[in-house]
Chains A and B, each alone.
Chain A
């Protein structure tokens, strides 16, 4: 579904991604781990289409289409969802209103009729139950005054509403206590289907106990330097990123 070939990305003339290769197929869960500042969030932002980053080389093919020529909103309407690390606040805009606009924009893009108010509210109720979100949350303005945990839950709720084919969760676990973590992971797992895929970006192995990955990649100094199964995450936890660095140095 997603093919990233030799992707090089810079910001302000500084190269962050130095040739990333990644392939993701339907039904798969990929974890991307790596130390701080290594480019994990950059990768997520570039797939989503954040223009502040310049793609200097390489390509991203999504469902057979050249993703890099598509606008941010078109990528979203084609089914790409980014669960932000630091979701921004939008005061005055209720989650209900926000979601209704987003859902209907996607429907119209696909040639469907927008949902009526009652059908939309029914959809909201269904998804709230699915991901275990309380009703009170959706009456509030988007992320306004939300705690870290509430923001992350709101991201998962939006994911449920938009039914993406490729979800990228950027450090979804940061700032969550164990209960919130379980709720978030539970939501993600419930949304898994054979025809969609998930990229989980995280520092810590802990989340991967709940969202079990098929593949674990280590992003280090702008490249994916190691790929393995879920055991790789446990090994990293035990040995730390220095181990990766040493392995690389010894190969040079």
Chain B
């Protein structure tokens, strides 16, 4: 057996393993609905949240629809059967009264946020990031709402929006992802717990990055969050979603929905750094991330971009997509997806061109290591109305080691003669020659892999807001670095 190959394989193995940094649980008093899902569960959730009638009706319709649907099986994924009756659909930390300030928040809760590096205190205020911290199924006090209110910007928890801004919720919720869209969308629409709501008024440029942190705590609690972002004409917002989750043995289902609406001349930038627990080295445990994310560039000249760095989850199944309805609208999808050990990912995007001269760009960088499987699945559809539309897609795969897999399933459907669709794909691995070159310059193999992987992902990382880019780089290192030497 070749010594160099052995050694480098071992180093690659070590480098791609690391103890999940955020593995811990908060022992807080949790109030939970009994396990299982039936109509009563749905009513319970709605009642607990004190929702208006229209919301309960929406949930019930979705639940009835879900009961008629079957879980899709076309993905390049091996998903162990999920017992939907074996999950808690609601968990809220017990709180005695309405909170006016952070001083009144349960200190245990605050300690949790500290451990996660989320600080709802002055530090965050100074860095100018408004944080809506979601603790399991209930949102804790939102900061900065006053500052944003001055501009007429609404940024609050979804539950609060349902109570305080029902007209907006009623108008837009389900307009991009209808409750019958797919199996998990129906499930989410029935039992969604909480999430973020954001409305930017006409002509307003949101002055700060908006951000949300999540945490799944209680065993077998499905996290079904719901986010709705509405950018009115000529407005701009940059939104960051970043998640951490604790170490658990039982699989945890995460079936979220994110809907984005951009009106004429508006722009929304949505960035995600996802770090869900990926399962242990043997593929046990870990989060199932089955998310439906979709935006609509509704007005002319509108623009929405999705940027994601996905390093966690046992199974990732998501296609942040865009409907480019407005003329001259622009859609972008930038993604780095890392899979390691026994992780699986089937992810990509759908760009549906309806508007004339609409443009879309897709840059997907997959990194596979260990025994994982990483698939890109993309649909570029240009309808007959989308004259002059253009797409550029580049999907690259990087393989670390020789036991992982990278797959590509691109679909291109062009229904008019003036559209242009470009597709490029590369597959590469870190060669022994490259590692030796780095070694010979005094750089050990672990650092070399870090350098090369970050260089590979640079094009996507550069699209992240600065605050996130640093976390993303660290995350890439954590997910591929181990305890070597």
What residues make up the interface of A, taking CB atoms closer than 8 Å to B? 48-52, 54, 71-73, 76-77, 81-82, 84, 87-94, 97-98, 101-102, 105-106, 109, 141, 158, 162
Interfacial residues of chain B within 454-472, with CB under 8 A of chain A in the complex: 454-459
Chain B: number of interface residues, binned into ranges: 20 to 34
The 8 Å CB contact of A84, one of B437, B442, B443, B455, is B437
- Given A73-B443, A76-B442, A91-B456, does the pair A98, B436 have CB atoms closer than 8 Å? no
B436 in contact with A91 (CB, 8 Å): no
Per-position 1/0 for B413-448, Cβ under 8 A of A = 000000000000000000111101111111110010
Give Cα A81–Cα B443 distance, bound, in whole angstroms.
13
Asked if B149 is an interface residue, CB under 8 A from chain A, the answer is: no
A88 in contact with B434 (CB, 8 Å): yes
B437 in contact with A88 (CB, 8 Å): yes
- Given A51-B4, A88-B433, does the pair A101, B443 have CB atoms closer than 8 Å? yes
Give Cα A218–Cα B178 distance, bound, in whole angstroms.
78
Asked if B3 is an interface residue, CB under 8 A from chain A, the answer is: yes
Q: Which of B440, B444, B457 has the most CB of A within 10 A?
A: B440
Enumerate chain B residues within 8 angstroms of A106, measured Cβ to Cβ: 442
Q: Which of B433, B438, B441, B447 has the most CB of A within 10 A?
A: B441
Closest CB in chain B relative to A91 CB, distance in Å: 7
Give Cα A130–Cα B2 distance, bound, in whole angstroms.
41
Smallest Cβ-Cβ distance to A82: which chain B residue: B440
Chain B interface mostly helix, strand, loop or mixed?
A: helix
Asked if B7 is an interface residue, CB under 8 A from chain A, the answer is: yes
Closest CB in chain B relative to A74 CB, distance in Å: 8
Closest CB in chain A relative to B439 CB, distance in Å: 4
What residues make up the interface of B, taking CB atoms closer than 8 Å to A? 2-4, 7, 431-434, 436-444, 447, 451-452, 454-459
10 smallest CB-CB distances across A and B, nearest first, come from: A92-B455, A72-B439, A93-B455, A51-B4, A76-B442, A102-B441, A88-B433, A77-B442, A105-B442, A51-B3
Enumerate chain B residues within 8 angstroms of A71, measured Cβ to Cβ: 439, 444
- Given A51-B7, A72-B436, A105-B447, does the pair A162, B452 have CB atoms closer than 8 Å? no
A158 in contact with B441 (CB, 8 Å): yes
A92 in contact with B4 (CB, 8 Å): no
- Given A50-B436, A51-B4, A141-B455, does the pair A88, B442 have CB atoms closer than 8 Å? no
Give Cα A158–Cα B443 distance, bound, in whole angstroms.
13
Enumerate chain A residues within 8 angstroms of B2, measured Cβ to Cβ: 52
B444 in contact with A90 (CB, 8 Å): no
Enumerate chain B residues within 8 angstroms of A91, measured Cβ to Cβ: 455-456
Enumerate chain A residues within 8 angstroms of B443, measured Cβ to Cβ: 73, 98, 101-102, 105
A92 in contact with B456 (CB, 8 Å): yes
Smallest Cβ-Cβ distance to A108: which chain B residue: B442
Smallest Cβ-Cβ distance to B451: which chain A residue: A93
Give Cα A90–Cα B430 distance, bound, in whole angstroms.
9
Smallest Cβ-Cβ distance to A143: which chain B residue: B437
B437 in contact with A87 (CB, 8 Å): yes
Closest CB in chain B relative to A188 CB, distance in Å: 18
Smallest Cβ-Cβ distance to B485: which chain A residue: A71
The 8 Å CB contact of A98, one of B431, B451, B457, is B451
Give Cα A88–Cα B456 distance, bound, in whole angstroms.
16
B442 in contact with A109 (CB, 8 Å): yes
Smallest Cβ-Cβ distance to A94: which chain B residue: B455
Closest CB in chain A relative to B458 CB, distance in Å: 5
The 8 Å CB contact of A90, one of B434, B442, B459, is B434
B441 in contact with A52 (CB, 8 Å): no
Smallest Cβ-Cβ distance to A105: which chain B residue: B442
Smallest Cβ-Cβ distance to A97: which chain B residue: B451
A48 in contact with B437 (CB, 8 Å): no
Enumerate chain A residues within 8 angstroms of B444, measured Cβ to Cβ: 71, 73, 105
* 23 A-B residue pairings within 8 Å (CB atoms): A48-B440, A49-B439, A50-B436, A54-B3, A71-B439, A72-B440, A73-B440, A73-B442, A76-B439, A76-B441, A82-B440, A84-B437, A87-B437, A88-B434, A90-B434, A92-B452, A92-B454, A93-B455, A94-B455, A98-B438, A101-B451, A102-B443, A105-B442
